[in-house]
Structure 1
Amino acid sequence: MKNIENLFDYTVGQFETIDHLLTMGVGAHLAALVFFFLLSRLVAPRYRVATALSCIVMVSAGLILVSQAGMWTDAFALEGGVYKLQDITFNNGYRYVNWMITIPCLLTQLLIVLNYGKKEIVKKATILVVLAWGMIITGYVGQLYEVEDLNALCIWGAISTVFFVAMNFIVGTSIAAQRKTMTNGTNTTIMKVFWLMMFAWALYPVAYLVPAFMNTSDGVVVRQLLFTIADISSKVIYGVMITYIAIRQSASIGYKPALKALGRDVNDDLRI
Structure 2
Amino acid sequence: MKNIENLFDYTIGQFETVDHLLTMGVGAHLAALVFFLVISQLVAPKYRIATALSCIVMVSAGLILVSQAGMWTDAFALENGVYKLQDITFNNGYRYVNWMITIPCLLTQLLIVLNYNKAQIVKKAISLVLLAWGMIITGYIGQLYEVSDLGNLYIWGAISTLFFIGLNFIVGKSIAEQKSTLTHGTDKTIMKVFWLMMFAWTLYPIAYMVPAFMNNADGVVLRQLLFTVADISSKVIYGLMITYIAIRQSASSGFIPARKALGMEPQ
Classify the TM-score, shorter chain: over 0.9
Alignment-derived partner of residue 141 in structure 2: 141
Structure 1: distance between partners of 2:173 and 2:43: 26
| Letter in structure 2 aligned against 1:60 | S
Alignment-derived partner of residue 82 in structure 2: 82
TM-score, scaled relative to structure 1: 0.97
Structure 1: distance between partners of 2:47 and 2:147: 44
Alignment-derived partner of residue 96 in structure 2: 96
| Displacement after TM superposition at 1:222 (Å) | 0.2
Number of aligned residue pairs: give it. Answer: 266
Q: Deviations over 1:158-182 (max 9, x none)?
A: 0000000000000000000000000
Structure 2: distance between partners of 1:108 and 1:54: 10
Alignment-derived partner of residue 177 in structure 1: 177
Alignment-derived partner of residue 9 in structure 1: 9
| Letter in structure 1 aligned against 2:194 | F
Structure 2: distance between partners of 1:9 and 1:35: 39
Alignment-derived partner of residue 235 in structure 2: 235
| Displacement after TM superposition at 1:265 (Å) | 2.0
TM-score, scaled relative to structure 2: 0.99
User: SS where residue 77 of structure 2 aligns?
Assistant: strand
| Letter in structure 1 aligned against 2:251 | A
Pairwise CA RMSD = 0.5
Structure 2: distance between partners of 1:111 and 1:36: 18
Say whether 1:51 aligns with 2:70: no
Say whether 1:195 aligns with 2:227: no
| Letter in structure 1 aligned against 2:99 | W
In structure 2, runs of 5+ residues without a counterpart are none
User: SS where residue 116 of structure 1 aligns?
Assistant: coil
Structure 2: distance between partners of 1:196 and 1:180: 20
Structure 1: distance between partners of 2:238 and 2:36: 12
Alignment-derived partner of residue 263 in structure 2: 263
Alignment-derived partner of residue 116 in structure 1: 116
Alignment-derived partner of residue 219 in structure 2: 219
Structure 1: distance between partners of 2:81 and 2:188: 52
Greater than 3 Å deviation, 4+ residue runs: none
Structure 1: distance between partners of 2:48 and 2:151: 45
Structure 2: distance between partners of 1:139 and 1:5: 17
